[in-house]
Homo-oligomer: A and B are copies of this chain.
């Protein structure tokens, strides 16, 4: 089965908003053995939307459209599609009730235009939106599914996962297995050196390196007509791949590094305190992204000023003067100070130069010291991270989490020693 995606919105067409929805959809559709053959982005006019849908129906077996389902006059997707497919809009009482209920819970008076989101093309199936007001809409037009999803990314993703993917999988009837290994600490080129042409030996398999600030994900998708063969191939791919890269794999699937670290801490019944300078709270934020993190995260210190390093963490003033705030010694004292003051088992200290200013020949922008203090010992490392201020901070937090993960699992904290 092949599909065409139509993104609707002047904000995307103007380049002000980067369309992340499309890339998300393309990936999840591929994992359902659905091939994306064309993507159009059109403006918020009924004419363009109708043209986009009409061309897409000529080319593809199914069409997914995102955007233009909100309550304002520039949200015309419902109307444009209803007109083109000759399915007049009708008020859906259950959608209306849901919109009113959400309005009541928010405690704000909503204008009557929000109720336009309850107008649904005749004969369409409604997919309730678990995180927003505008529902997803499925119309089967001359045996081709036409799916309308909201443009707000978390709403689109929730509806795609809960309804679109299962629906298309069931329609295609092909067997698909996919898995993702998440790695941290090796560049894409280093992974490629280890893996080589191995994936070509797995029949029906597509293999991808997906690099980001959070490491390189390795994604394997196996498609075929036979459930059993597909499962066997996927298992073989998993084992052969793991044999090459196990040391740098921190998780499988969509699990984040902070969840992995949280699970290890919960398992050990250890609690953690963070002490951050250059990351400014990002590490604490990452750890507390995980629901239930109050089970292992006790407190965080964002010691941006030197004064706060001294009085919140007990960093030694002489060390600070002699070695500077960006040094291994200060990172270690921060980790120990956090651990002691919070009365917990694990302390992490981060200090570095996030930039764009503040670098020197000796400690250029991107120099970050990370230290750990735990019952297993004290350890610190210097890291040279590349990128903008935002990238250096993201990488520093991820590196600290990975270093902690490796330390807690009693692996060498330097991934190149695996």
Interface residue ranges, A against B (CB under 8 Å): 10-11, 13-20, 22-27, 30, 36-43, 48, 55, 70-74, 102, 105-108, 110-111, 113-114, 131, 152, 154, 180, 187-190, 192-193, 206, 208-211, 217, 219, 221, 274, 276, 279-285, 287-289, 291-294, 297-305, 307-308, 312, 342-343, 355-357, 364, 384, 386-391, 393
Give the docked Cα–Cα distance between A25 and B72 (Å).
28
Q: How far is the CA of A37 from the CA of B187 in the complex (A)?
A: 36
Measured in the bound complex, the distance between the Cα atoms of B281 and A302 in whole Å is 8
Q: Which of B18, B73, B113, B356 contacts A20 (CB 8 A)?
A: B18
Q: List 18 A-B contacts (CB under 8 A).
A: A10-B208, A13-B37, A14-B26, A14-B30, A16-B23, A16-B217, A18-B18, A18-B20, A39-B40, A70-B211, A111-B193, A131-B387, A154-B387, A154-B390, A280-B289, A280-B297, A298-B304, A299-B308
Q: Count this chain's copies in the assembly.
A: 2
* A276 CB contacts on chain B under 8 angstroms: 281
Q: B301 touching A301 by the CB < 8 A rule?
A: yes
Contacts of A342 in B (CB 8 A): 308
A154 touches B388 (CB 8 A): yes
Q: How far is the CB of A226 from chain B (nearest CB, A)?
A: 23
Complex-state Cα separation, A22 to B355, whole angstroms: 28
Residue pair A389, B291 in contact (C-beta under 8 Å): yes
